[in-house]
Amino acid sequence: MPTIEVAIELPFYLRVEDVMTVRYEQVCKEAQLPELVGQDLEITTSRRCAGQINKMSQPQVQYERTTVGIKVGTHSNLSQESVSTFAISNCLEILNHLIASYQATTGEVSNAGFIEPLGTSDMQLFAEIRVNGKDFRDRWPGHSLNTFPLSADQGTEFKLYLASQHDLPLSKLFLTSATLSLERGQYSLAISQAATAVELRMTQYVVDKLTGAGWSAQKIKDYEEKTLGQKLRFDQADLRSLEKHFGSVANFSSLHACLKNWFTPLRNKVIHRGHLASHKEAIEAIKVAREFLKTLV
């Protein structure tokens, strides 16, 4: 039977040394491969002394690490694309589920390293991938759009923030955190952070309009303390309504409706009812939040 094996050394230590067997579809909810549904996964966690790979100035200092191995057999050979999906996406989901299960059990946030979910880049850079015992690497491009230098405008903006001549845009930082949470498999957290970015920017924008119109401090405070859903439900003629200010902007009506009828209810499910968001929901929420922040420049 063809086999795929993925191993990665975590940059922290989990106090678990075990061999566990789970069904593929029980731990791989996103990007499922039909060829692997019904197959058993063997997950091995083992302790490793990191002195061999951790180049310390004091070699006598030894830090424990945990190596996780994931192995699955298939009834047929998988395509290179399917192997990559398993190794990069499925195994990342398994690892982050393992880490979350460990933290739910122990409450630990550090142990010879900061215990946190991994991201796609960790798998691309550090995972050892073998198919039928032979090394397999999905060679991702080393240069892409994301590695290009900043544009002239971005360079100027960056320097102004660095020199404290502009306040850091907190809403953008929340959206960046949401994107990082998405990358690390924390989908519910990503939605919460994206919603915070939206509400913060919305509140800042409307408060500036109310202040310019001479509203009292108490009335402005009353607006600030409303929920996200309440802030989205003012009549279009109301100065507190975003539709009053952006009603003529192309596609804003559909964006506003999405915020009101999908984005906010999803945020409330996550925050108030403990909804475990999916990868698809998190991607869409961040997309909506990014479009909203682009509109409210």
The separation between CA 85 and the C-alpha centre of its own chain, rounded to angstroms, equals 18
Q: How does pLDDT run across 66-84, given as a tens digit for each residue?
A: 999 999 988 888 888 888 8
Cα separation, 216 vs 222, whole angstroms: 10
**Joined tokens for residue 237:** 């003629």
Average pLDDT over residues 174-202: 92
Ordered by start, the domain boundaries in the chain are 3-135, 150-295
Q: Tokens 């506003």 correspond to what residue?
A: 256
Cα–Cα separations (whole angstroms), residue 232 to 153, 161, 209, 223, 228: 32, 30, 16, 11, 6
Give the model confidence (pLDDT) of 242-272 as tens digits. Answer: 999 998 888 899 999 999 999 999 999 999 9
Strands 64-73 and 40-49: antiparallel
Closest CA to 272 of 192, 193, 212, 203: 192
* pLDDT band at residue 195 under the 50/70/90 scheme: very high
- pLDDT tens column, 123-158: 888 888 888 888 776 444 444 555 567 788 888 888
- Which of 57, 55, 25, 65 has the alpha carbon at shortest distance from 41? 25
Q: Give me the amino acid identity at 146.
A: N
Whether 271 contacts 192, CB under 8 Å: yes
What number of other Cβ atoms are within 10 A of residue 192's Cβ? 20
Name the band, by pLDDT with cuts 50, 70 and 90, for residue 171.
very high
Q: Can you spell out the DSSP letters for 135-161? A: E------S--GGGSPPPHHHHHHHHHH
Do the beta carbons of residue 53 and residue 154 sit within 8 Å?
no
284 vs 98: CA distance, rounded Å: 25
The kind and range of the H/E element at 199 are helix 187-212
**CA separation for the pair 206, 251 (Å, rounded):** 20
DSSP 234: S
Query: 282 and 191 in contact (C-beta within 8 Å)?
Result: yes
pLDDT of residue 141: 45
DSSP state, 236? T
Residue pair 294/252 in contact by the 8 Å Cβ criterion: no
Edge to edge, the sheet with strand 18-23 lists 18-23, 40-49, 64-73, 3-9, 128-131, 134-135
The separation between CA 118 and the C-alpha centre of its own chain, rounded to angstroms, equals 10
pLDDT tens digits along 20-66: 999 999 899 888 899 999 999 999 999 876 544 444 444 545 678 89
Euclidean distance between CA atoms 123 and 127, whole angstroms: 5
Sign, Cα dihedral of 67, 68, 73, 74: negative
Report pLDDT digits (tens) over 97-118.
999 899 989 988 988 889 988 9
Contacts of residue 192, defined as CB under 8 A and 6 or more positions apart, other chains included, come to 178, 267, 270, 271
187: pLDDT confidence band, cut at 50, 70 and 90? very high
Amino acid at 259: L
Of 22 and 184, more confident? 22
- Residue 144: per-residue pLDDT: 53
